[in-house]
A and B are shown apart, each in its own frame.
Chain A
Amino acid sequence: MSMYGTDKRHHTLTVLVENKAGVLARVAGLFSRRGYNIFSLAVAPSDDERFSRITIVVDVESSPLDQIMKQLDKLIPVVSITELDPSVARERELLLATLEAGPETRGQLIQLVGVFEGKIIDVGRDRLTVALEGAPRKLDDFEDLIRSYGIVEMQRTGRVALPMLDRSGDHSPLRLADSTTGTNTEKAG
């Protein structure tokens, strides 16, 4: 069972926006007023300080992806939008969880965290806080497995993604505009 966006109806958009006050409100406001569902959203400055990158996982059951992209495109501070199909993207997400870890289950949990290559970042009397980074599906699996031990609190960051590199050519990133699976929308007014 997938809780966190490995579903077919979930698509990842990476949106380059001007790094100005209120831009996130414009993007979020667009989603709410047009009735589009955001599954997850992550924002951070990009390598160019004039721009930020918003990674949005959208639920395309609420509205066709094409409409969502075109409406986003109309926002003046939106510079470009790229759809990152999981098959042409590297996606990562971070999970933090505080788990019940009494004496009888602590050992199993530590093993499980080891198998998933996570880290134990805090230890209490009968609780552990673990950190796990990875592809969303891996985090889904981990979450399924730890649930039976008792999750006290959990947070996931929402995914970020970059296009997969093209190995056939000159090591430059795959140009999404030319790819058949990714769609790159030039800005239009």
Chain B
Amino acid sequence: MELTGAQALIKSLEKQQVEVMFGLPGGAILPVYDPILDSSIRHILVRHEQGAGHMAEGYAQVTGRPGVAMVTSGPGATNIVTPLADAYMDSIPLVVVTGQVATTAIGTDAFQESDITGITMGITKHNWLITDVNDIPRVVAEAFHVATTGRPGPVLIDVPKDIANSTMEWYWPEPSELDLPGYHPLTEGDPALIRSAVELLLAAERPVIYAGGGILKARAADSLRELAERTGIPVVTTLMARGSFPDSHPLCLGMPGMHGNYTAVTAMQRSDLLIALGSRFDDRVTGRVDAFAPDAKVIHVDIDPAEHNKVRRADVAVAGDCRLVIDEMLSALDALGLPHSDATRGGSGGAPSDAVEGAPARSGSLAAACPRERLVPWRAQLGEWQQRFPLVYDQQPGSGALKPQFVLEALRDATPDDTIVASGVGQHQMFASQWWQFDHPYTWVNSGGLGTMGFAVPAAIGAKVGRPDKTVWAVDGDGCFQMTAQELVTASSERIPVKIAILNNAYLGMVRQWQEMFYEERYSEVYLSPDLPDYVGWAESMGCVGIRVDSTEEVASAIDKANNIDDRPVVIDFRTDAFEKVYPMVAAGASNDDIMVDPSLLGGDR
């Protein structure tokens, strides 16, 4: 069967079971857009290529399948650089197809030419410039294989226009025909190392499981839970791992790091053993590295061996897939005769799901969760910290300024507990991570490593496309919203009913917080205005329902109204307190020992 390169490309995507792709056509990619009309693949036309990339990321994060985006050459390609960088930092599988000028024009500064493979070399797992039409099926198969195996990540395929227009004899490569002699991703960990890890784990007095995004990538949430329950070891979930272990679980300590809660941060600091599972000792978690968890030995499980000893030396470094390695650890526990979790769960009784539902959230009931004798004092200590240093805020009733935390609690309580939450970057992101209760994996979609403002709206749209059965809320800041809000036009026209909660404090809030705390309240270029733009008017002009909320009394009814709209996007403009700061906080470059809790907990004024 003779096909054009363009037809072969679309057919290859169909062979990879792509059901949807996000994109925006242009000159160099024109040939590839023609066969889309005859394809089973749904194409979602975005309003800016950055939106296509973030939508693909949101889709990938909630489905576990690679997100696919297609854009044209030059500015189309450079506009998707930010999502590629974002996906690279957060290990999200993306396949991005870019148009390129004809091979004969490459290097001549042709119209809309950019060296996108050169530009994205450092922010993709790999990229390809296709120079022979016959390579198309093989390269597509290789691209999906590379994006989704090992440590997942974004890849890019650059397709010159003349290649898309020339013809080839169709074939689909067997797995053995992929030409990747240097790519052999690891999966299974070394059993001897796993055994040493388990021995360390059983000897520890103050162990903490430091769960990272790799748990979700490896689909290891169930295995993690079994490991925690069998050993009685408490779990912190990083920003990328929220939902990988239920917040309502008695062993869950919540988020560590710069804005982590006191107990999660301090548990790691005082720990004698960190069991890092798919986490990478990010600077936002460790604070000052040489002061981080000074007494802890480290077990580090990661599928990417380059993460081992990159930031913190590991006593046992296991290279492998988190799920396979944890399962192997569980087998090693069997071999060592550690009883199964049913026997160790003690007081809570019944099936695991009952135990979770019956457990009060964040109530310091850790000590009752598991009777493992040796860890009782440790869990008691953690419970005491939880009692002494909870997350707090002070919402004055009536006309007092609306606190962002109050909005988030109301939203959390009024939505199904498997609601998908997407967020942008800044104060609202930290508030959302702190105050939401994540009890299910793949319900938290955010930009962790790169910290990309404007991520929430398109990521929420992509998530809703991937999981139309679920309620999807974006929690966004006013600064972030203004960066990518135009994608709500995409959502309206494609009938993707996402809901957006803007925590509108009229500031670039996180920058404002730093200027208040570290720059003597010299506010430089952070004020945005609450009314410009008119968010309700803007939302409605984009085909959404717009709602404005100024006071606590209006919060519940606005959320209720939004939850009952399912035929178009909804935007709620919550006017929140500009002076609210995110606590706890570890200042940049400071030791985690110097965590600043909310001043009210120390008897001060907020």
Contacts from A to B (Cβ < 8 Å): 17-18, 21-22, 25-26, 29-30, 33, 50, 64, 66-67, 70-71, 73-80, 186-189
Partner of B185, one of A50, A70, A78, A188: A188
B184 touches A21 (CB 8 A): no
* A29 touching B121 in the complex, CB below 8 Å, given contacts A186-B184, A187-B184, A188-B319: yes
Taking CB as reference atom, which chain B residue is nearest A26?
B121
Known A66-B309, A73-B305; 4 more pairs at CB < 8 Å: A17-B182, A22-B121, A33-B122, A188-B186
Taking CB as reference atom, which chain B residue is nearest A50?
B181
**List of A residues within 8 angstroms of B305 by Cβ:** 70, 73, 188
Taking CB as reference atom, which chain A residue is nearest B310?
A67
CB 8 Å contact bits of B235-264 with A (1 = contact, 0 = none): 000000000000000000000000000000
A73 touches B183 (CB 8 A): no
Taking CB as reference atom, which chain A residue is nearest B131?
A21
Taking CB as reference atom, which chain B residue is nearest A78?
B182
Q: Is B300 an interface residue (CB 8 A)?
A: no
Taking CB as reference atom, which chain B residue is nearest A23?
B182
**List of A residues within 8 angstroms of B184 by Cβ:** 186-189
CB 8 Å contact bits of B128-140 with A (1 = contact, 0 = none): 0101000000000
B118 touches A25 (CB 8 A): yes
Name the distance in Å between B383's Cβ and chain A's nearest Cβ. Answer: 39
A71→B122 CA distance, assembly (Å): 12
A80→B117 CA distance, assembly (Å): 23
CB 8 Å contact bits of B170-185 with A (1 = contact, 0 = none): 0000000000111111
* A189 touching B183 in the complex, CB below 8 Å, given contacts A70-B305, A73-B306: yes
B186 touches A21 (CB 8 A): no
Contacts from B to A (Cβ < 8 Å): 117-118, 121-122, 125-126, 129, 131, 146, 149-151, 180-186, 303-306, 308-310, 319
In the complex, 19 of the A-B residue pairs with CB atoms within 8 angstroms, ordered by the A residue number, are: A17-B182, A18-B181, A21-B129, A22-B117, A22-B129, A25-B121, A26-B121, A70-B306, A74-B306, A76-B180, A77-B182, A79-B181, A80-B182, A186-B184, A187-B182, A188-B184, A189-B183, A189-B184, A189-B304
**List of A residues within 8 angstroms of B129 by Cβ:** 21-22
A26→B186 CA distance, assembly (Å): 22
Name the distance in Å between A79's Cβ and chain B's nearest Cβ. Answer: 4
Taking CB as reference atom, which chain A residue is nearest B184?
A187
**List of A residues within 8 angstroms of B185 by Cβ:** 188-189
Taking CB as reference atom, which chain A residue is nearest B182?
A79
**List of B residues within 8 angstroms of A64 by Cβ:** 309
**List of A residues within 8 angstroms of B150 by Cβ:** 188-189
Taking CB as reference atom, which chain B residue is nearest A79?
B182
Name the distance in Å between B283's Cβ and chain A's nearest Cβ. Answer: 15
A25→B304 CA distance, assembly (Å): 22
**List of A residues within 8 angstroms of B319 by Cβ:** 188
Name the distance in Å between B287's Cβ and chain A's nearest Cβ. Answer: 21
Taking CB as reference atom, which chain A residue is nearest B185?
A189
B306 touches A18 (CB 8 A): no
A100→B578 CA distance, assembly (Å): 73
A67 touches B306 (CB 8 A): yes
**List of A residues within 8 angstroms of B182 by Cβ:** 17-18, 75-80, 187
Taking CB as reference atom, which chain B residue is nearest A68?
B306
Taking CB as reference atom, which chain A residue is nearest B180?
A76
A58→B444 CA distance, assembly (Å): 41
**List of A residues within 8 angstroms of B122 by Cβ:** 29-30, 33
**List of B residues within 8 angstroms of A80 by Cβ:** 182
* A76 touching B126 in the complex, CB below 8 Å, given contacts A186-B184, A188-B184, A189-B186: yes
**List of B residues within 8 angstroms of A26 by Cβ:** 121
**List of B residues within 8 angstroms of A76 by Cβ:** 125-126, 146, 180, 182-183
Choose among B126, B182, B309 the residue with the greatest number of A CB atoms under 10 Å from its CB. Answer: B182
Name the distance in Å between B187's Cβ and chain A's nearest Cβ. Answer: 9
**List of B residues within 8 angstroms of A67 by Cβ:** 306, 309-310
Taking CB as reference atom, which chain B residue is nearest A34?
B122
**List of B residues within 8 angstroms of A71 by Cβ:** 306
A132→B319 CA distance, assembly (Å): 46
Name the distance in Å between A34's Cβ and chain B's nearest Cβ. Answer: 9
**List of B residues within 8 angstroms of A187 by Cβ:** 182-184
Choose among B150, B180, B303 the residue with the greatest number of A CB atoms under 10 Å from its CB. Answer: B180
A78→B306 CA distance, assembly (Å): 15
A83→B258 CA distance, assembly (Å): 39
**List of B residues within 8 angstroms of A25 by Cβ:** 118, 121
**List of B residues within 8 angstroms of A22 by Cβ:** 117-118, 121, 129
**List of B residues within 8 angstroms of A75 by Cβ:** 126, 182
Choose among A18, A67, A76, A77 the residue with the greatest number of B CB atoms under 10 Å from its CB. Answer: A76
A71→B306 CA distance, assembly (Å): 6
A66→B181 CA distance, assembly (Å): 22
**List of A residues within 8 angstroms of B180 by Cβ:** 76
Taking CB as reference atom, which chain A residue is nearest B306?
A70
A18→B128 CA distance, assembly (Å): 13
Taking CB as reference atom, which chain B residue is nearest A69?
B306
A186→B122 CA distance, assembly (Å): 22
The 6 closest A-B pairs by CB, nearest first: A189-B150, A189-B185, A70-B306, A79-B182, A76-B126, A33-B122
A74→B125 CA distance, assembly (Å): 8
A103→B146 CA distance, assembly (Å): 65
* A189 touching B151 in the complex, CB below 8 Å, given contacts A25-B121, A29-B121, A79-B182: yes
Taking CB as reference atom, which chain B residue is nearest A74?
B306
**List of A residues within 8 angstroms of B304 by Cβ:** 74, 189
A18→B178 CA distance, assembly (Å): 14
Choose among B183, B184, B319 the residue with the greatest number of A CB atoms under 10 Å from its CB. Answer: B183
A73→B126 CA distance, assembly (Å): 13
**List of B residues within 8 angstroms of A74 by Cβ:** 304, 306
Name the distance in Å between B449's Cβ and chain A's nearest Cβ. Answer: 15
A186→B303 CA distance, assembly (Å): 14
A189→B53 CA distance, assembly (Å): 24
A80→B319 CA distance, assembly (Å): 18
Name the distance in Å between B234's Cβ and chain A's nearest Cβ. Answer: 31
Name the distance in Å between B135's Cβ and chain A's nearest Cβ. Answer: 11
Taking CB as reference atom, which chain B residue is nearest A16?
B182
A80→B309 CA distance, assembly (Å): 21
**List of B residues within 8 angstroms of A50 by Cβ:** 181
Taking CB as reference atom, which chain B residue is nearest A64?
B309
A29→B124 CA distance, assembly (Å): 12
**List of A residues within 8 angstroms of B183 by Cβ:** 76, 187, 189
**List of B residues within 8 angstroms of A29 by Cβ:** 121-122
Name the distance in Å between A23's Cβ and chain B's nearest Cβ. Answer: 10
**List of B residues within 8 angstroms of A78 by Cβ:** 182
A70→B309 CA distance, assembly (Å): 11
A50→B179 CA distance, assembly (Å): 11
